[in-house]
A and B are shown apart, each in its own frame.
Chain A
Amino acid sequence: RKEVEQDPGPFNVPEGATVAFNCTYSNSASQSFFWYRQDCRKEPKLLMSVYSSGNEDGRFTAQLNRASQYISLLIRDSKLSDSATYLCVVIFTASKLTFGTGTRLQVTL
């Protein structure tokens, strides 16, 4: 089993739709979790941290489920500009960061 798994997509959704991505991880001792956004041929950029209590930033909501070992990202009211690849990152130690392969989102008119 891979340490971090994501559905590669692509997820093709119309503007205004709600879309959710999941990311599962295998190491139950993992400590921190993040979602990064990566545009084509660009460097990843932090989208948001993920906490067990859940956190929201505008149209984006991230959630951690430690019991089932997955994190999720919900995007409401999708915009064309949300089209990108979304990478989950699971951190065990400061040097042990594992990136998922990414989920590609394409928002269409």
Chain B
Amino acid sequence: NAGVTQTPKFRILKIGQSMTLQCTQDMNHNYMYWYRQDPGMGLKLIYYSVGAGITDKGEVPNGYNVSRSTTEDFPLRLELAAPSQTSVYFCASTQGGAKDEKLFFGSGTQLSVL
């Protein structure tokens, strides 16, 4: 199993550009999450999904969109990149919800918006 795979690892965007961060998992997990981590800060939840076709906002959803057409994939879309979206983005998954199970994280995407 590859676990949780995120692409790209690094990306530089200009203000106003758009991009999609890809996240896929091969563990048949129901729950998937997108977090961002700013320097010296904890992880903040952007969006999450409890299964294919179901998504919901987290703590900091503004400026982002997600979709979950399959169990495996949970892409994160930035439509109009802003400098405030410069951060490290982590995708994570767990089978039945993180209450009792560990989160499996992808290796992260370092995004800079200039």
Identify the A interface with B (CB < 8 A). 4, 8, 31-32, 34, 41-46, 87, 91, 93-95, 97-102
Q: B42 touches which one: A31, A46, A101 (CB < 8 A)? A: A101
Chain B residues near A94: list those with CB within 8 A: 31, 50, 96-99
Segment touching A, from B12-20, B60-68, B72-80, B101-109: B101-109
Known: A42-B108, A43-B106, A94-B50. A32 touches B99 (CB 8 A): yes
B100 touches A43 (CB 8 A): no
Q: Is B99 a contact of A93 with CB atoms below 8 Å?
A: yes
Interface centre among A46, A97, A102 (most CB of B within 10 A): A97
Asked if A42 contacts B107 (CB within 8 A), the reply is yes
Task: For B108, give the chain A residue with the smallest CB separation.
Answer: A43
Return chain A residues, CB-CB under 8 Å to B34: none
- 1/0 per residue B57-97: CB within 8 Å of A? 01000000000000000000000000000001010000011
CA distance A28 to B44 in the complex (A): 20
Contact-residue bracket for chain B: 20 to 34
Within the complex, what minimum Cβ distance (angstroms) separates A74 from chain B?
20
| A43 x B105 contact (CB < 8 A) | yes
A-B contact pairs, 13 of them (CB 8 A): A41-B88, A41-B108, A42-B107, A43-B106, A44-B43, A91-B99, A94-B50, A94-B97, A95-B50, A95-B97, A97-B45, A99-B35, A100-B42
* Interfacial chain A residues near B45, Cβ < 8 Å: 95, 97
A93 to B90, CA, bound (A): 20
